[in-house]
Structure 1
């Protein structure tokens, strides 16, 4: 009988987006990362590297804020070789008529 291989599953949310800063419901609107969000993604990659985690694969939504977070984190952890797969199933929830509105409204 073959030995079982231990697996580690790592989840990460995208870095802060421009609409997070504006406090807007984003949903599937394809907004970019804020400057802070870029830094958060890089920091996530540095933490991955410090922890000695090595990825076999990376999954992301089709939204550029998630794709950029994935790419920046992989670059910061020296793992740009890792295959990435995108799926709409990882996109943020759809907010319908709330999309674009200030969350305070």
Structure 2
């Protein structure tokens, strides 16, 4: 059975400041990176493997996906 996983990016610098980010290309904080690592571990613990993955071009989304897939020991292509 196919499954779809929706994952929000980790905390960004502007999230931390409670600022609206929109299309501004703000990077993840250290906490955001840790959140992505935790998400990757949760996916491993629940036996998820991805056939395809998609993300926006914004740094916070790309970095989140990169960290998640690295944690899951899965390759990704930018």
Q: TM-score range by the shorter chain?
A: over 0.9
Q: What does residue 54 of structure 1 align with? A: 49
Q: What 5-or-longer segments of structure 2 have no aligned partner?
A: none
Separation in structure 2 between the aligned mates of residue 83 and residue 50 of structure 1, nearest angstrom: 24
SS across alignment from 2:28: coil
When the two chains are superposed, the root-mean-square deviation of aligned CA atoms in Å is 1.1
Report the count of equivalent residues: 78
Deviation (angstroms), 1:78: 1.1
Q: Return structure 1 stretches of 4+ with deviation > 4 angstroms.
A: none
Contact 1:56/1:83 (8 A) holds in 2: no
Pairing 1:70–2:65 present: yes
**TM-score, normalised on structure 1?**
0.71
Instruction: Provide Cα deviations, 1:48-83, integer angstroms capped at 9, x if missing partner.
Output: 11111110011000100000000000010111x245
Q: What 5-or-longer segments of structure 1 have no aligned partner?
A: 1-5, 85-105
Pairing 1:39–2:34 present: yes
Deviation (angstroms), 1:21: 0.5
Deviation (angstroms), 1:10: 0.4
